[in-house]
Amino acid sequence: AEVAIAFLPIYKETNYRHGFVSTELPTAIVMAQGTDADYPDRVQAIVEAGKARFKATQDEIAKLNNGVPTRNIFLKIPATEIGLKAGEILESLCYNVNYTLVATKEQYRATVIAHKWGVMAFVKNYRAKYNDALPPLELIPQSVSSDFVSRDDRSVAPILDGVIKGD
């Protein structure tokens, strides 16, 4: 919460594009295993955990920030099939998502698609609720995709070695 408050000037100065902090959801919920039959229940469990974590973080920030909550919070959700669907739903409900554990180009593309569909659903719902008005920039859900740096390190290391040596 303290970091989110400390980053508020960056968040505001960059028109709500930077200055975010990420918060984790309970691992037992986001990484729960199951079957195709319980897929909707597992997606909904992540969505509900995300809402609860966001609210708890907002409440903590408000206590430290003269009663004022902030929106510069990302919910960390793994880029699994279930996590992507839950992230899309959360974004459609105006939550910011940090898609984590991205290990392949395909997963990265899937995070972009989930973000696109989530934002499109959010804007559609907002316009329906507010007489076709566009949402303010600070309400449009944001997302980032976090990859495995160690995987990149192995492929980039020889290039960096050459740059450092002046090759």
Q: Of residues 35 and 105, which shows the higher confidence score?
A: 105
Q: Does the pLDDT of residue 157 top 70, yes or no?
A: no
Say whether 56 sits in a helix, a strand or coil.
Answer: helix
CA nearest neighbour of 125 among 115, 46, 84, 117 = 117
Mean pLDDT, rounded, of the chain: 89
- The alpha-carbon radius of gyration of the chain (Å, integer) is 18
pLDDT at 158 over 80: no
As a whole number of angstroms, the distance between CA 103 and CA 67 comes to 39
pLDDT mean over 19-42: 88
**Residue 17 CB neighbours (<10 A):** 11
Residue 24 bridge partners (DSSP): 76
Residues 52-64 pLDDT 10s: 999 999 999 999 9
State CA 61 to chain mean position distance: 18
Query: Would you say residue 156 has pLDDT above 60?
Result: no
pTM for the model: 0.85
C-alpha–C-alpha distance, residues 77 and 109, integer Å: 15
**Other beta carbons within 10 Å of 134:** 11
Cβ atoms 93, 122 nearer than 8 A: yes
Cβ neighbours, 10 Å, residue 74: 21
Q: Rounded to an integer, what is the distance from CA 74 to the centroid of its chain?
A: 4
Tokens coding 52: 């609860």
Q: Summarize pLDDT for 86-107 with one digit per residue, the tens.
A: 999 999 999 999 999 998 899 9
Distance CA 85, CA 123 (A): 18
Contact 118, 90 (CB under 8 A): yes
